[in-house]
Structure 1
């Protein structure tokens, strides 16, 4: 479900939940616990990766259909807790986007310091609107600080899924490379960063990311209940149930 791979002072957290690395509650909880352990054990950097061709398909929607409000709230709190781990990380984190990265997968990458994506027929984006979900402010701000206000507005409202070249062009990702070179390039970037004077780099980084860490200082202060109210709207449930039906028919 989550492979831990050590590269000297860097810990790679490799999402390994076939077939599409959907973010289940168990995977999110494991990601948070393992991330905390890596920091506690003295890692100087973290790399988040997926499988070749698929970084993460995002939220495990099928597991949420039919769940009661308490179960849904537990899931979304775990998702935002994972975002908060990355937002408040005391050490640099790089996303090795090894393939497609819709919705929740794209969201996690936004909280990393740097994003290396596989070049090719791969798409990334926050397509929540297309599946009937609104995008809360705490996620919108994460996209705005990466691509700018106007571009974020256009991408969010349309629920656009853009290809790797478009993602590079608008700043959604920082670098493109061959699918088999995503992790090595991500490691290269992180090692170059870690070669800088540590105190100066980390202090400057903390100042630069203060808006993100402040927004995610307290997960329970996020508008979870408003978001969950939207999740249970009849029209949203209808779209999500149709999505799950399509996924089952393909499987």
Structure 2
């Protein structure tokens, strides 16, 4: 069964994450998403919509899977490389990509949206339980690498990014709109269609001028994701720190409930 479903709407391809229940990003899903992205472009897609599940766009990296790797540093490194390779594929996609966020987008899920050109997020039907998005690494004892911090800064600005990153804050959809972390807020059943509508407007512009201007404007994304700004070896060391392991195990226990 495919972990990424591809749906075509004229010259726009929607890539829908389909790893139940919450689209946790394991190496298989990351690899399949990269392949689907490359295939869509090769088959002539002029724009991409990246969507996830209802209520949860993507819960981020598959922490239970990562913890199951134990002391196998090679396997852990490969899993994180698969994720960052996917982020880079989005950042360097030669055609515009819109994130259609129909639910929560923590950690790695948020990173994928930050690599897109535009972000459309859903309002929750329950105002008391809004959908949230953000980089919550510090809450589980991890440090957001410099490159990931750069992705957040380019969207919300330096000082606001500092506050969000240090606190590991997950912001509600309405606040995310106010601070520019997402670009639009719509009803959940309209997220994908609104993403396609935004792309259609962009694709109506003179193509080469639009694409070349976009490439210049987005060059800093690929720079942010270069190995020297991610420093995976240092990140892996921090992953095995006792405080981080305790926090991660506690997270998995909460997820189990």
Q: TM-score range by the shorter chain?
A: over 0.9
Distance change (3 Å), C-alpha of 1:106 and 1:221: closer
Gaps of 5+ in 1: none
Instruction: Give the TM-score of the pair, scaled to structure 1.
Output: 0.96
Q: Return the offset for 1:24.
A: 1.4
Deviation digits for residues 148-193 of structure 1 (CA, Å, limit 9, x no counterpart): 0000000000000110000000000000000000000000000100
User: After the TM superposition, which residues 185-204 of structure 1 pair with which residues of structure 2 at under 5 Å, given as runs?
Assistant: 185-204=194-213
Question: Residues of 2 paired with 1:236 and 1:57: CA distance?
Answer: 18
Q: Does 1:154 align with 2:181?
A: no
* Counterpart in the other structure of 2:127: none
* Counterpart in the other structure of 1:95: 99
User: After the TM superposition, which residues 67-78 of structure 1 pair with which residues of structure 2 at under 5 Å, given as runs?
Assistant: 67=69, 68-78=72-82
Deviation digits for residues 54-81 of structure 1 (CA, Å, limit 9, x no counterpart): 1111110000113111111000000100
Question: Residues of 2 paired with 1:43 and 1:213: CA distance?
Answer: 21
User: After the TM superposition, which residues 165-204 of structure 1 pair with which residues of structure 2 at under 5 Å, given as runs?
Assistant: 165-204=174-213
Question: Residues of 1 paired with 2:91 and 2:231: CA distance?
Answer: 17
Question: Residues of 1 paired with 2:184 and 2:217: CA distance?
Answer: 20
Question: Residues of 2 paired with 1:76 and 1:34: CA distance?
Answer: 19
Q: Which is further off, 141-150 or 36-45? A: 36-45
Q: Return the offset for 1:219.
A: 5.1
Instruction: Give the TM-score of the pair, scaled to structure 2.
Output: 0.94
Q: Return the offset for 1:222.
A: 4.0
Q: Does 1:63 align with 2:65?
A: yes
Q: 1:59 is paired with a residue of what secondary structure?
A: coil
User: After the TM superposition, which residues 1-251 of structure 1 pair with which residues of structure 2 at under 5 Å, given as runs?
Assistant: 1-67=3-69, 68-120=72-124, 121-216=130-225, 222-248=230-256, 250=257
Aligned length: 248
Question: Residues of 1 paired with 2:213 and 2:183: CA distance?
Answer: 19
Q: Which is further off, 60-69 or 145-154? A: 60-69
Q: Return the offset for 1:40.
A: 1.6
Q: 2:205 is paired with a residue of what secondary structure?
A: coil
Segments ≥4 residues shifted beyond 6 Å: none
Kindly indicate whether the alpha-carbon contact (under 8 Å) linking 1:164 and 1:176 is maintained by their aligned counterparts in 2: yes
Kindly indicate whether the alpha-carbon contact (under 8 Å) linking 2:151 and 2:224 is maintained by their aligned counterparts in 1: no
Q: 1:100 is paired with a residue of what secondary structure?
A: strand
Kindly indicate whether the alpha-carbon contact (under 8 Å) linking 1:77 and 1:219 is maintained by their aligned counterparts in 2: no
Question: Residues of 1 paired with 2:200 and 2:63: CA distance?
Answer: 36
Question: Residues of 2 paired with 1:209 and 1:58: CA distance?
Answer: 23
Question: Residues of 1 paired with 2:228 and 2:48: CA distance?
Answer: 25
Gaps of 5+ in 2: 125-129
